[in-house]
Amino acid sequence: MELKRENVLIEALPYMQEFYASIMVIKVGGNAMVSTQIMEDIIKDIVLLRYVGIKPVIVHGGGPEITEKMERMGKKAEFFQGLRITDDETMEIARMVLVGNINTKIVSLIGIFGGKGVGFTGYDGRMILGHKQAAKRVLVDGVETEVDIGWVGDSEVINPEILHIMLEKGYIPVISPIAVDAKGNALNINADTVAGDIAAALKAKKLILMTDVSGLLRNIEDPSSRISRVNLDQIDSLIEEGIIRGGMIPKIKGAAVAVKSGVEKAHIINGSVSHSMLLELFTDGGVGTMLYGPDHPPV
């Protein structure tokens, strides 16, 4: 039975009270990067969060757009164990797409819908300091070979000071997942990982990872098999059972690191479903998968 509008608002009230003045880190990626309508709906929801007293921080990806731009420039995208092999030229293309296109587009949309957005990379305020990943060892025809995946990095230190300043002034920070190493080189870092690291550094109340599926599914072919709540202690067994697999593994592991580091709860939701973030945050049932630890069990 459809809820009356006033009942929906009443159901949302205790959540609004609980979340008021709290920080939430939202990773936007997947279909949102290639669909104007989906992106507009997500940004409207994020601006709404700001107007009800929540302090959102956006981290965005852009893999599909980077691949498309590379192909248009006559360069083939190559991957190793799910990571984009990033040589000098690919790094320049990634910066062009992430900073020059996607980041500015999101900041512009925030302004259109009544908010104040400001764009950042890891260079700004030395926010994301990292190091280049070591060469990977792999067996090729029985022979161990090293594969250098280029300027792909891991974050070491997150300096959140500039984010706190912007949040206190009412801005919505929009962060591209590009870090800087000790020598000033740019590093391409997985956006889910960056979002988790930033959420931990900010002591965020929530980390929200938007993807292309409705959370963690017991059966990937059956949307109704969604697991709505996962305890940190369940992760290893769910990986062993094959329920957490493929691209969901880094999302879950990144979310787990954030929760272990002080983020109260992490949520994995389908960003292509209209207003899924609001439904996950402000309704009793939710629409995604919530990850929690022993310090903050679900009520």
CATH label of the domain that carries residue 177: 3.40.1160.10
Q: Is the pLDDT of residue 263 over 90?
A: yes
Tell me if 179 is assigned to some domain.
yes
- Give the per-residue pLDDT at 108: 97
Task: Decide if 229 contacts 286 (C-beta within 8 A).
Answer: no
- Give the per-residue pLDDT at 164: 97
Tell me if 13 is assigned to some domain.
no
Instruction: Give the span between the Cα atoms of 201 and 272, in whole angstroms.
Output: 28
> Which two tokens mark 187?
């590093």
Structural domains counted in the chain: 1
The range of the structural domain enclosing residue 195 comes to 21-292
Tell me if 279 is assigned to some domain.
yes
Helix axes 161-168, 191-202, angle to 10 degrees: 70
- Give the per-residue pLDDT at 212: 82
Choose from 30-44, 141-155, 231-245 the range with maximum mean pLDDT. 231-245
- Give the per-residue pLDDT at 141: 65
Binding-site residue ranges for substrate: 62-63, 84, 188
Type of residue at 79? F
Binding-site residue ranges: 62-63, 84, 188
**Residue 117 pLDDT grade (very low, low, confident, very high; cuts 50, 70, 90):** very high
Beta carbons within 10 angstroms of residue 95's beta carbon: 17
Tell me if 15 is assigned to some domain.
no
Tell me if 198 is assigned to some domain.
yes
**Residue 1 pLDDT grade (very low, low, confident, very high; cuts 50, 70, 90):** very low
How large is the average pLDDT for residues 173-197? 93
Tell me if 89 is assigned to some domain.
yes
Q: Is the pLDDT of residue 4 over 80?
A: no
Residue with tokens 């059972």: 241
Q: Is the pLDDT of residue 31 over 70?
A: no
**Residue 67 pLDDT grade (very low, low, confident, very high; cuts 50, 70, 90):** confident
Residue with tokens 């009443």: 10
Tell me if 299 is assigned to some domain.
no
Tell me if 4 is assigned to some domain.
no
Instruction: Give the span between the Cα atoms of 12 and 16, in whole angstroms.
Output: 6
Q: Is the pLDDT of residue 3 over 60?
A: no
What's this model's pTM, rounded to 2 decimal places?
0.90
- Give the per-residue pLDDT at 169: 96
**pLDDT higher at 57 or 146:** 57
